[in-house]
Structure 1
Amino acid sequence: MALFSFNFLSEEEIDDLVRTTLFTSQEIEYLYERFKLLDRSNQGYIGYDDFIMLPEFHSNPMNINLVKAIEKYTKYNRITFALFLDVLKVFNGKSDKNKRIDFVFECFNTNNNGIICKDILLDVYVKLTGEQFDKTRARDAVNEVLTTYAGRKIYLDKQDFIKFYEENNLDEIFIVNFSKNLSKRKGGFWW
């Protein structure tokens, strides 16, 4: 992948990214502007904590889990724009659903043991619903998930999680519409 000139992307760089990613040229331009805003030190890269500054991550109650999963996924401390796009593709509706499921499983697999235990499910439920004050209701919901998807186990393994993810259409939660916020310029240079 080409090194990007920091102030703007050339047409060649955009064409290269369109060919090698799942994003349109307009989405790439928009995401590049956002990347530059995150790169407050103008170094040409961002860190994991900078991801939390993205509104889609900042407002997400699972943002710390998402950042830790990104860290596992990339294995780099410095995230270039190309790597930034590689990470974001997981949330693109055109990406491989199985890779998205793997990524989401890693978000919840906070103990790094290949399972999502009852306590972690309870924590996730509370974060996603905000029902920390109704512990009985939260426990009942988690027990129902475990009974439905894990049988007698007190955890979800990967196969259980896949069933849970697919039957509850969790893709609706994890897919980001990157075109939604594109500026509505008419007759501009790019379109």
Structure 2
Amino acid sequence: MGNASSMLTQYDIEEVQEHCSYLFSQQEIVSLYERFCQLDRSAKGFVAEDEFLSIPEYSTNPLSQRLLRMVDGLNFKEFVSFLSTFSARASLQQKIEFIFKVYDIDGKGKVSFKDLVEVLRDLTGSSMSEKQREQVLTKVLEEAGYTRDSTLSLEDFVTPIQTHTPHKRNTHPQG
């Protein structure tokens, strides 16, 4: 696939489809390639940070800086893989893993109280004080059975969401 200005072959399309677990049709892959080429203004075969920020919906997202560290320098295959998380066909597990990566600022597989405060700061801006953020997060963690000193793993993100999804049956006995 090399240069972004080259044309996609059928092999390239099938390879990208396989890489993103067939979450996009061949036509969707072609459309994404066209968009990728528009974003890759330098025609280097990857999309740089400033090119991502040219997308209005992306640049106005309060988590855009956090997302940038995940997308800066992606080639086309990686670009499609990144976008596959947003597909309606993506599994709940894939979406949870993506959200976890947004919160896992240092990429070490754990989310700390500090990480949570930073994400909440990004989301709330100046509408909340640092003290309010910490109070809210402390209360939420306590209600979930954690403390400020707890570090959350991917499993800690998965379990509550899977437990509270409508299609799952409540397996806890009624008291």
| TM-score normalized by the length of structure 1 | 0.65
Give the equivalent residue in structure 2 for 1:47. Answer: 48
1:114–1:42 CA distance, 2 compared to 1 (3 A):
closer
Give the equivalent residue in structure 2 for 1:120. Answer: 115
1:31–1:143 CA distance, 2 compared to 1 (3 A):
same
Query: For residues 21-49 of structure 1, what are the alpha-carbon distances to aligned partners after superposition, in whole Å with 9 as ceiling and x for unaligned?
Result: 31134433332222112111123332355
Query: For residues 95-121 of structure 1, what are the alpha-carbon distances to aligned partners after superposition, in whole Å with 9 as ceiling and x for unaligned?
Result: 232233222212211133432222221
Unmatched runs of 5 consecutive residues or more in structure 2: 166-175
8 Å CA contact 2:16–2:77 kept in 1: the answer is no
Please give the root-mean-square deviation of Cα atoms over the aligned residues, in Å.
3.2
Equivalent positions of 1:171-190 (< 5 A) are none
Q: Does 1:148 align with 2:143?
A: yes
Give the equivalent residue in structure 2 for 1:188. Answer: none
1:62 Cα deviation from its structure 2 partner: 1.3
Task: Measure the CA separation in 1 of the matches of 2:15 and 2:56.
Answer: 23
Task: Measure the CA separation in 1 of the matches of 2:120 and 2:148.
Answer: 18
* Matched AA of 1:125: L
Counterpart pick for 2:157 among 150, 161, 171: 161
1:7 Cα deviation from its structure 2 partner: 5.9
SS at match of 1:57: helix
* Matched AA of 1:94: R
Unmatched runs of 5 consecutive residues or more in structure 1: 72-76, 170-191
Task: Measure the CA separation in 1 of the matches of 2:160 and 2:71.
Answer: 22
Give the equivalent residue in structure 2 for 1:104. Answer: 99
Give the equivalent residue in structure 2 for 1:82. Answer: 77
1:66–1:18 CA distance, 2 compared to 1 (3 A):
closer
Percentage of matched positions with identical amino acids? 25
Task: Measure the CA separation in 2 of the matches of 1:164 and 1:56.
Answer: 29
8 Å CA contact 2:17–2:29 kept in 1: the answer is no
1:64–1:129 CA distance, 2 compared to 1 (3 A):
same
SS at match of 1:126: helix
8 Å CA contact 1:108–1:120 kept in 2: the answer is yes
Counterpart pick for 1:16 among 14, 25, 43: 14
Count residues in correspondence.
161
* Matched AA of 2:125: G
SS at match of 1:130: helix
8 Å CA contact 2:36–2:76 kept in 1: the answer is yes
8 Å CA contact 1:126–1:132 kept in 2: the answer is no
Task: Measure the CA separation in 2 of the matches of 1:163 and 1:69.
Answer: 24
